[in-house]
Amino acid sequence: MSNLTCPAIRRLAILTGGGDCPGLNAVIRAITKDALNCNIDVLGVEDGYLGLIENRFRPITEEDISGILRRGGTILGSNNRANPSRFATGKQADGKPIFQDLTENCLRHFTSRKIEALIVIGGDGTMTSAAWFAKQGIAVVGVPKTIDNDIQGSEITFGFQTAVDTATDALDKVRTTADSHHRAMVVEVMGRNAGWIALHAGIASASDVILIPEIPFDLDKVAQVIRDRERRGKRSTLICVSEGAVQRGGSQIVSKVDLTSPDPIRLGGVGKYVADCVEQRTGTESRYCVLGHVQRGGVPCAFDRVLATALGNHAMKLLREGKVGRMVAVQHGELTDVDLSVPAGKQRLVSRDHPLVAAARAVGASFGDC
Ligand code: F6P
């Protein structure tokens, strides 16, 4: 039995929205354990906001959360296309989606199921809808997640460190084959418009070039790094490029557009572009490798398990204190909370003068800009 002072809440729901990431189950576990200890019923919303729209809920029991701390993905399922206030319900003759506001349906489901609080675990898109439901009078608390680490209001999100570890491991492996063949190897990592994964994994793998969206690159400068390294007798050049990196004067390379999604752009292809261009310029054989969703999958690292547990616990603390319409966050290494409008629809990017950018430059990495 818990000796915590429990709130008046008798039933809460948990929803995981947006792209999945390692650590989601650890948050679900932390919240559910705490709630069940306080005799609060826990319902899981299936497949993110889609399940809320379609009235798909299921109880989360002690048995459901047993052994899930280390499991990747989310036991509830997720969705990065469903926005309740602008949901694509069909297509016009020209193929463009027809959008409908289904907020009222969702509110009805809350009432009919007697749900008194909602904890949403997600990124900026999920928090945008969470802020919307808070405005409609729902007691919502947000928990930030994303491998991209780009949530405004929190200096760190769980899932990020696991993705960095995965990317670093891949870069280390690619380095050995690059050395064998005297090649330039380009590894494209995720991150959307933020370069955090590339910056961290690039430093951790001693990548020679790190290309991030926030610092437009010049291909001649990248080619110069390869030539300089060859002149110094180096066997290879390792280039870590963020999927959102952009050539100076150019634009991001888009792999797919999904108009039904709140964030319709899917990035991808810059790795191949950079590899082809530097081979042309230098004559050095080049290859590329796209890590893709490998970075989102698998077992969360210890750091993410701990962070996810702490954030889940903090979300329950906020509910208990009646602090709703808030997102739990980490600032200056401390757990805190911010208004849900802070992360809604925004992204936390790498600043050009971030200490890690300076540290990377100091150990010889080029950002392809000078
Ligand atoms: O936001 C997480 C993320 O993995 C991004 O890094 C990436 O750009 C995007 O999601 C991919 O989305 P999807 O799973 O729809 O391809």
Alpha helices in the chain (DSSP H): 24-37, 49-53, 62-65, 103-112, 124-135, 160-181, 196-204, 219-231, 270-282, 302-320, 355-362
| Span 311-365, pLDDT tens digits | 999 999 999 999 999 999 999 999 999 999 999 989 999 999 999 999 999 999 9
Cα 354–chain centre separation: 20
Please state the three-class secondary structure of 271-292 as a single string.
HHHHHHHHHHHHCCCEEEEECH
Encoding tokens for residue 54? 């379609």
The CA 254 to ligand 1 mean position distance, Å, reads 12
| 267 Cβ inside 6 Å of ligand 1 | yes
Q: Could you tell me what percent of the chain has a pLDDT over 90?
A: 95
Strand order from edge to edge, sheet including 57-59: 57-59, 41-45, 11-16, 117-122, 140-144, 326-331, 334-339
pTM score, two decimals? 0.96
User: How far is the C-alpha of 231 from the C-alpha of 317, rounded, in Å?
Assistant: 59
Q: Give the residue from 348, 368, 347, 343 showing the smallest Cα distance to 357.
A: 368
Q: Name the residue of 259, 296, 346, 349 whose CB sits within 8 Å of the most ligand 1 atoms, as the mutation to test its pocket.
A: 296
Q: Name the residue of 80, 121, 241, 346 whose CB sits within 8 Å of the most ligand 1 atoms, as the mutation to test its pocket.
A: 80
User: How far is the C-alpha of 261 from the C-alpha of 203, rounded, in Å?
Assistant: 33
Q: Give the residue from 165, 203, 202 showing the smallest Cα distance to 187.
A: 202
244 contacts 198 by C-beta, under 8 angstroms: no
Active site residues: 148
pLDDT higher than threshold 60 for residue 48: yes
User: How far is the C-alpha of 290 from the C-alpha of 286, rounded, in Å?
Assistant: 14
Between the CA atoms of 361, 367, 369 and 370, what dihedral angle is there, to the nearest 10 degrees? Answer: 30
User: What DSSP string describes 188-215?
Assistant: EE--TT--HHHHHHHHHTT-SEEE-TTS
For the beta carbon of residue 361, count every other beta carbon within 10 angstroms.
14
| 48 Cβ inside 6 Å of ligand 1 | no
- What's residue 262's pLDDT? 87
Burial 256-267 (b: 16+ CB within 10 A, else e): eeeebbbbeeeb
- What's residue 3's pLDDT? 38
- What's residue 2's pLDDT? 38
- Number of the ligand 1 atom closest to the C-alpha atom of 243: 8
| Span 186-208, pLDDT tens digits | 999 999 999 999 999 999 999 99
Name the residue type at position 133: F
pLDDT higher than threshold 50 for residue 308: yes
User: How far is the C-alpha of 53 from the C-alpha of 60, rounded, in Å?
Assistant: 19
- Number of the ligand 1 atom closest to the C-alpha atom of 256: 16
Average of per-residue pLDDT across 22-27: 98
- What's residue 4's pLDDT? 44
User: How far is the C-alpha of 137 from the C-alpha of 330, rounded, in Å?
Assistant: 26
| Span 96-154, pLDDT tens digits | 999 999 999 999 999 999 999 999 999 999 999 999 999 999 999 999 999 999 999 99
**Pairing state of beta strands 326-331 and 140-144?**
parallel
User: How far is the C-alpha of 370 from the C-alpha of 368, rounded, in Å?
Assistant: 6
The CA 56 to ligand 1 mean position distance, Å, reads 24
Contacts of 311 (CB under 8 A, 6+ apart): 27, 30, 143, 144, 158, 328, 330, 335
Sign of CA dihedral 191, 154, 124, 320: positive
For the beta carbon of residue 362, count every other beta carbon within 10 angstroms.
8
Average of per-residue pLDDT across 164-179: 98
pLDDT higher than threshold 70 for residue 59: yes
User: How far is the C-alpha of 127 from the C-alpha of 52, rounded, in Å?
Assistant: 15
